[in-house]
Amino acid sequence: MRAIALFALLTVVMTWPQARVLAIEATPHQDVYFNMWRLEWLAHAATTQLSHPFDANIFHPEPDTLAMSDAMVVQGLVAMPLIWAGVPRVLLHNVLLLGAIALSGAAMFALARYLTGSRAAGIVAGIVFAFAPYRVEHIMHMELQWTMWMPLAFLAFHRLYDTGRMRYGVAMGACLALQMLSSIYYGMFLGVLLGLAALVLIARDRGVSFGKLLAPLAVGAAIAVAVSALYARPYMRVHARTGDRPVYEIEQYSARPASYLAATPNNWLYGGSQNRSGGPERRLFPGTIALVLATAGLLLVPPSRRAIVYLLLLVVAFEASLGLSGYGYRFLYEHVTAFRGLRALARLGVFVLMFVAVLGAYGYRIIVSAQPAHVRRAALVLVSVFMLIEYRATPDLQPYLDEAPPVYRALAIQPRGVVLELPVPRTDSLPGDEARYAYMSTFHWFPLVNGYSGVYPPSYLARLDRLRDFPGEASLKQIRTDGVRYVIVHQRDFWQVDLAQVHARLGEMGMAELGTFSDGNGVATLYRTR
């Protein structure tokens, strides 16, 4: 508990002043809207359509729309009782996101302390894992902050190999399953890396006989496979409709070797040192101090077998993060269908960061272990402070709405029907305001033609092309085909002359104006079929 408290305090410091506006502001990004929509949808589905929770209200009339991105099941389950209790949405979002960073640091502390026998080394490793630029790069992606299961899975794995106890096999499988339910990217590669570690260590680094390991390993694997197979079913249906990720997208969002030298633009020390390999998803620098400590752990004394294994895992994760430019991911892409649905292979940089943190813990212990107690305490303070300064970045925040703007309150009291919000974005300039529209749908929960996710269904993209000429005949025909009952026209996105034409055309197709209201950003007019 003290480790959790320490990393909670450090998270407040490293993200300040967000703690001061925790109930009001978050990172300005469309994924914040998407995070809140997913949390709210899971709580809504649990009380209204528990038998088919993946049939979410966006991209009407597509099925399985929750499975077009990470469903964040674990985060949703944690949030449910708080949502039902009326905890403000922005506050809940920020607590779940920042809390995941703190818990990830504490989990890494537990793993590093077990491997090195040093609490101080565990703190150093936790700081690396919790606050390196990768975290800031993905501060808007809630599912990518839920990494606490990764070090806990490796901790259970090592304890299993040291004791042979069944409970550690169950814990390892449960952590792997929880990681899959928290973030599919991480869950899939955690399984690959754990499997590789199990094969490498089974010959030379176990405290019990091979036979005593078999049953716990089998039970852990069975838990993870069973949960993952059940969870994969809606995703397989979506993949059958949407197909593989385009190769150009995989190449765009894969790491380059130089990505591991790039920090985020708002980093205090390195923000001005960006290069062409440091674009979105590719700011993966683990930090100078972390790299020095990791190198020391490998070179100052002969490394242990486990340190060598973590170096091997680091190399594998680094190579796989290069995507199709490397060999590891290319093999998985060609032979395992599930891996063809992944786009941003640079996200494997979190595993590189995790293994650097472990090796850094070994290095820190080696450097300070022979020093007197007062020197060790001073060294921990100095190293921790310097690392926190190195990782510090200035947060960018904006306010988000917790309550429904008037236009959505007016809609919510109407009879249930399909909703379309206009204008829609061009297919070559997505997402536009689609993520905000999805979030605003949580105030009425009507089926929504608009939508935002990690994958866009082909039917939605075709629909956007036809709706772009609104109020032309093709768009009106599409509105009729989709059974749209309500249209919200956001006036700030239309010229005044166009608004008169919009009103006339909607009237011609039998829609009545219910009124003009604030939409939170401007004014919008709500229409309903007569």
* pLDDT tens digits along 424-477: 998 888 899 999 999 999 999 999 999 999 899 999 999 999 988 787 888 888
- Under 8 Å between Cβ of 60 and 416: no
User: Would you say residue 64 lies in a domain?
Assistant: no
The string of pLDDT tens digits covering residues 325-360 is 989 999 999 999 889 989 999 999 999 999 999 999
Q: What is the pTM of this model?
A: 0.94
**402: which 2 tokens?**
């917790």
Are residues 185 and 253 both part of a single domain? yes
Q: What percent of the chain has pLDDT over 90?
A: 79
Position 371 pLDDT exceeds 80: yes
More confident: 20 or 503: 20
SS3 490: strand
Residue located via tokens 């993200």: 15
Are residues 261 and 362 both part of a single domain? yes
The string of pLDDT tens digits covering residues 282-318 is 999 999 999 999 999 899 888 888 999 999 999 999 9
Position 278 pLDDT exceeds 70: no
Q: Can you give the residue range of the structural domain that contains 269?
A: 2-23+88-391
Are residues 166 and 286 both part of a single domain? yes
Are residues 208 and 320 both part of a single domain? yes
Position 508 pLDDT exceeds 90: no
What's the number of domains the chain is made of? 2
Domain boundary pick from 360, 391, 422: 391
Could you tell me if residue 209 is left (phi over 0), alpha (psi between -120 and 50 degrees) or otherwise beta? beta
Are residues 361 and 429 both part of a single domain? no
CA geometry: angle 242, 489, 413, nearest 5 deg: 90
- Pairing verdict, β 484-490 and 398-399: unpaired
Is 180 exposed, middle or buried (CB count within 10 Å of its CB: 0-12, 13-18, 19+)?
buried
Are residues 411 and 376 both part of a single domain? no
Written as one string, the DSSP assignment of 372-414 is -HHHHHHHHHHHHHHHHHHH-B----EE--SS--HHHHHHHTS
User: Would you say residue 207 lies in a domain?
Assistant: yes
User: Would you say residue 65 lies in a domain?
Assistant: no
Are residues 423 and 387 both part of a single domain? no
Are residues 179 and 221 both part of a single domain? yes
Q: What pLDDT is recorded for position 300?
A: 82
DSSP conformational letter for 482: T
Residue 419 parent element (H or E):
strand 418-422
Query: Which residues, 6 or more positions from 392, have their beta carbon under 8 angstroms from its beta carbon?
Result: 14, 267, 268, 269
SS3 417: coil
Are residues 413 and 351 both part of a single domain? no
